[in-house]
Amino acid sequence: MSTSEHTPLYVQIADDLRTKIHQGVLRGGDRVPSENEICEQWPVSKITARKALTTLRSEGLIEGVRGKGTFVRRKAPRVRLAPQRWFRQVQADSRPTYEQEAERAGEESLASRQSHETQAAFEVAERLAIETEDPVSETHYLITMDGEPVSMSVSWEPLALTAETEIACPIEGPHASLGVIGRFDKIGMRIDEVEEALDCRMPTPEEARVLNMPRVGTPVVAIEQTWRAQGLPVCTANVVFPADRYEFRYRMEIK
């Protein structure tokens, strides 16, 4: 550890641990020294030790597990590719994209789904360009991979567009496995745009419970999605991913 008199001790400790993480001395899942162990290894106070760990936690390098300690964060094993995940599915592989992402990670996936008809709340109506309390289908999803929850979401579709069609219920009927784009293709509405807004934040208590997030300080990536066909919104959704369980990768064509 550096002995520079101008560098605060907590910064020096954080620098030392950070270097060990970047050099692979400490790897994903390895336990890092506790506050007491830092105080023993370096002659500093608990306040200084806590500030060093807080620094690394704020950088996303470490995370706490209740009752177990603090560990180096693992690299997310699943990769979400954009915009490729929104390409129209070819006949050879019409599976949902989350199944393909799980397969690439060598994992088994499972989806829990529930859908019902309801009235659009103000925010949903705004995003779908309909009136508040207009009828919509509301569908909740929970995706797990190898038994671990990796995302939860809720989506809404205007029943003015889908009622009396084979896709009125997103999780039932002959096209339920095709996803939003494939399902609307079947009723002659070609989706040609999807807009996503990403927000990195801490989980709500309900999100932490449903996604089984015991680690203190782990954020989520919340995505607001809206699909459009020739400018008309046909579906909107809120999706939440634990930030330590998915990697988001974007490869865009430059024109």
pLDDT of amino acid 234: 98
Lowest-pLDDT range, 60-74, 106-120, 184-198?
60-74
Lowest-pLDDT range, 72-76, 164-168, 219-223?
72-76
Higher pLDDT, 249 or 60: 249
Instruction: Determine the 3-state secondary structure of 50 from DSSP.
Output: helix
Q: What is the mean pLDDT of the chain?
A: 90
Whether residue 166 has pLDDT greater than 50:
yes
pLDDT tens digits, 181-228 = 999 999 999 999 999 999 999 999 999 999 998 767 788 999 999 999
| Residue that has been written with the tokens 């560990």 in this structure | 71
pLDDT of amino acid 170: 96
Whether residue 90 has pLDDT greater than 60:
no
* Both structure tokens of 147: 């038994």
Decide: residue 53, CB within 10 A, 0-12 exposed, 13-18 middle, 19+ buried: buried
Whether residue 92 has pLDDT greater than 50:
no
Q: Report how far residue 78's alpha carbon sits from residue 203's, in angstroms, rounded to the nearest whole number.
A: 20
Q: Report how far residue 217's alpha carbon sits from residue 252's, in angstroms, rounded to the nearest whole number.
A: 31
Q: Report how far residue 130's alpha carbon sits from residue 120's, in angstroms, rounded to the nearest whole number.
A: 8
Higher pLDDT, 186 or 63: 186
Q: Any bridge partners for residue 45, and if so which?
A: none
Whether residue 93 has pLDDT greater than 60:
no
pLDDT of amino acid 91: 44
| Residue 76: pLDDT band with limits 50, 70, 90 | low
Whether residue 25 has pLDDT greater than 70:
yes
Report the Cα 135 to chain-centroid distance in Å.
Answer: 28
| Residue 87: pLDDT band with limits 50, 70, 90 | confident
Check if the beta carbon of residue 159 is closer than 8 Å to that of residue 135.
Answer: yes
Check if the beta carbon of residue 233 is closer than 8 Å to that of residue 128.
Answer: yes
Higher pLDDT, 68 or 34: 34
- What is the average pLDDT across 175-185? 92
pLDDT of amino acid 3: 53
Q: Any bridge partners for residue 135, and if so which?
A: 119
